[in-house]
Structure 1
Amino acid sequence: MGRELNKLTALSIKNFGPGKYADGGGLWLHKREDGGGQWVLRVTVHGRRREMGLGSASEVTLKEIRDEAAKWRAVARQSLDPIKERDRLRREAARNLHLLKEIARDAFESRKAELKGDGVAGRWFSPLELHILPKLGKIPIADINQTDIRDALAPIWHSKAETAKKAINRLGICFKHAAALGLDVDIQATEKARALLGRQRHKAGNIPAMPWPEVPAFYLSLNDGTVTHLALKLLILTGVRSGPLRFIREEQIDGDVWTVPGEAMKGRKDKTPDFRVPLSDEALEVIKQARKLARDGYLFPSVKRGVVSDMTMSRLMERAKLAARPHGFRSSLRDWIAETTDTPHDVAETVLGHVVGGTVERAYRRTDFLEQRRKLMARWADLVSSKKGAE
């Protein structure tokens, strides 16, 4: 290999005919009949000559190609094969494009159609976002093993058992998604992590509910007109789950009836009819106040984007030193109905949006008890919104 460098000039390169021309230091230009050219670097590693393509002559300047050649000569001087080293660096760069956070987001996007409301509520992604990605999100998924997963989930494996279970299940889906993309991952990593974490000690319990006689006093304390207070008030007044309530939209309300889309009802399939919720005068007043704060069609928007979260409402109750949680108001309502009214079972269960009866029975029943529920919910609203009820 000749040691004299920089023999060629930009003008000479342009005027050369077909052939091979040395720039020095093992750098050669191979010109073709069509006028195009290819840069090739010749180096010797362990007594073996290697020819390394450096790219098209039309795509890089002479200075750029000389700098590139100098870089790979330096690699060869370390007794490393520059071709193999370049391949290694490319593989490493490719792996860095497949960080867990990117794979998780791609897996989520590919499954949106299977999720309720296209996953807008974020319940599929949030266990990953809260408990996995902060610790492992910036690591290439191919580098993540069962020990990494165990260390990420150990702090919540027993204390937040259900959340941890969801997180590891979602992570398993991400690994399978990565494998489908052709990445070299261990799809058994999550199962191995389960073995390391051991059996969960946590036993699921009922969500704490407020005794119904205490609900009026709490309801009257929700008096600052904020989104969180208004959302909790409507939650209490209607007995619906927090998911449909947080995503309530203006167009779902027609007069004194709120129609919840069937796909938003827990445990219901897409073909299930929408669920009508009668709105008491008190509920309509809450909605009137909420309209002043609405954004993007949602009556209960969050401060930044999207809608108010379950956590925001729960924290309000935590700060008030209450054991009960928002979802528990459904139990408060159901207990009140059972203890103070003679409401038929089917009507009481329909108030909470529960599916009543078997398939055949439901096929023949043509009512959702709207009028009976309207009167019942008016009585409930009178109770929780009156000072007398709070005494």
Structure 2
Amino acid sequence: MPKKTKEIAAAQLPRLPVGMHAAGGATGLYLRVAPSGARNWILRVTVGNRRRDMGLGGWPDVPLAEARDRARQARRKIEEGIDPIEARRAAKTVLRETPSFSECARRTIEAKRPEWKSAKHAEQWKSTLDTYAKPVVGNMPVDQVELRHVVEILSPIWIEKTETATRLRARLEAVLAWAGASGFRKGENPARWRGNLDAVLAKPGKVAKVEHHRALPLSQLSAFVAQLRKREGASARALEFLILTATRSGEVRGATWEEIDLKENVWTIPASRMKAGKEHRVPLTARTVALLKKLPRFAHTPLLFPAERGGMLSDMALTALMRRMDVDAVPHGFRSTFRDWAAEHTEYPRDVAEMALAHTIGDKVEAAYRRGDLFSKRTAMMADWAKFAAGGKK
């Protein structure tokens, strides 16, 4: 009967010299001490007719008791006819070949980035997936993501944050679709809505809370504009420009001098910066032109309203200004204020107001107006709007 190896004590491990030291407690378990001082657990076993050395991790990350347990588990596999070294290598190969969900999300974002108008869109994708999906399936091989995982991700926010949840669901579906098309998954997409998630989650339209952008009442507009014109700085001028043109915050903050034609009094926003992906021409009223002519021009940037430290104003700059002015509204709400004015105080056709807001209208009507008098009608409308904002009755 072979002599039983004396079991080494945990307290001895830090003091062992360079070399191989039998640990005891599990046949063939050794601690290898390298000249550098590194200490690694080695299991010497015979698999078939071959003698093998199997690494079990380094000390102290793997303590003595765990090393002995790993050694016993490996020997049990050998007794069952399994080569633990080859099994581990095969598992690592599978993990390398099948990327994690987070890796697939990263690749999906990179693949879709060219179709998005701004880097912000990619950041939003990454943020929602990191916040909600990563804790559940981030490190999971993408082919192991199932319906139950998708439901676990979506359920906590499906009722309270329905809009975020629906966008997240679409992004989950896109990532898993990319994985399927890339050969990393097979079968149905567990994030698909129709005939799948619609059976276990309530319809978004039935539970979503509609939240409109807070708009300034028409009765308060002229007083607000008067106060705004007393303020200095790029944010104040950008906000006034936004009001007078009935455009969106991003369109204003990204506006450049190249887009402005002060001879024709037109601001042409390229399709790449428009929500609908179509070029939009904005008539510039006398007040708007006067505002632009007073703006300083900087050699280092083409922007109309650059931030103090360079680059675009942040998307919170205009909102923060309104908060400082103690107004319970947001910049985007001025588009609603404009729409209310057009409907309640003017006789301009609805299509003219919708075009001023760059909303999509019927293709035939839009095409006809673009060839005809729509721009001139919008020019008159924006002039009347500027008068109303300044306290006029129109």
Fold-level similarity (TM above 0.5): yes
Aligned pairs for 1:27-42 within 5 A = none
- Report the Cα distance in structure 2 between the residues aligned to 1:315 and 1:189, rounded to whole angstroms: 41
- Report the Cα distance in structure 1 between the residues aligned to 2:183 and 2:237, rounded to whole angstroms: 49
Q: Aligned to 1:324, which of 329, 334, 352? A: 329
Q: 1:251 to 1:358 in 2, by over 3 A?
A: closer
Match of 1:260 in 2: 269
- Report the Cα distance in structure 2 between the residues aligned to 1:311 and 1:148, rounded to whole angstroms: 35
Q: Which has the higher contact order (CA 8 A, sep 6+)?
A: 1
Q: 1:178 to 1:234 in 2, by over 3 A?
A: same
Aligned pairs for 1:1-391 within 5 A = 44-45=46-47, 48-49=48-49, 71=55, 78-79=74-75, 80-93=83-96, 98-113=99-114, 115=115, 118-120=116-118, 122-123=120-121, 125-137=122-134, 138-140=138-140, 142=142, 144-184=145-185, 188-191=189-192, 195-200=199-204, 201-204=207-210, 206-222=212-228, 224-255=231-262, 256-262=265-271, 264-267=273-276, 274-287=279-292, 297-300=302-305, 307-308=312-313, 310=315, 313-314=318-319, 317=322, 322-355=327-360, 359=364, 362-363=367-368, 366-384=371-389, 386=390, 388=391
Superposition TM-score, scaled by structure 1 size: 0.65
Q: What percent identity do the matched residue pairs reach?
A: 33
Show CA shifts across 1:75-98 (max 9, x none): 888335312222223433555xx3
Question: Is the contact made by 1:260 and 1:275 (CA closer than 8 Å) also made in structure 2?
Answer: yes
What is the root-mean-square deviation in Å for CA atoms of aligned residues? 4.1
CA shift for structure 1 position 265: 3.9
- Report the Cα distance in structure 2 between the residues aligned to 1:152 and 1:306, rounded to whole angstroms: 36
> Which residue type is aligned with residue 133 of structure 1?
D
- Report the Cα distance in structure 1 between the residues aligned to 2:362 and 2:89, rounded to whole angstroms: 67
Which runs of 5 or more structure 2 residues have no equivalent in the other structure?
Answer: 1-43, 58-66, 76-82
Show CA shifts across 1:269-320 (max 9, x none): xxx6x32111224333544566557975444556889744545544655676
Superposition TM-score, scaled by structure 2 size: 0.65
SS of the residue corresponding to residue 326 of structure 1 reads: coil
Question: Is the contact made by 2:339 and 2:353 (CA closer than 8 Å) also made in structure 1?
Answer: yes
Show CA shifts across 1:140-199 (max 9, x none): 452544444444444432233223211210111011112222224775332466654433
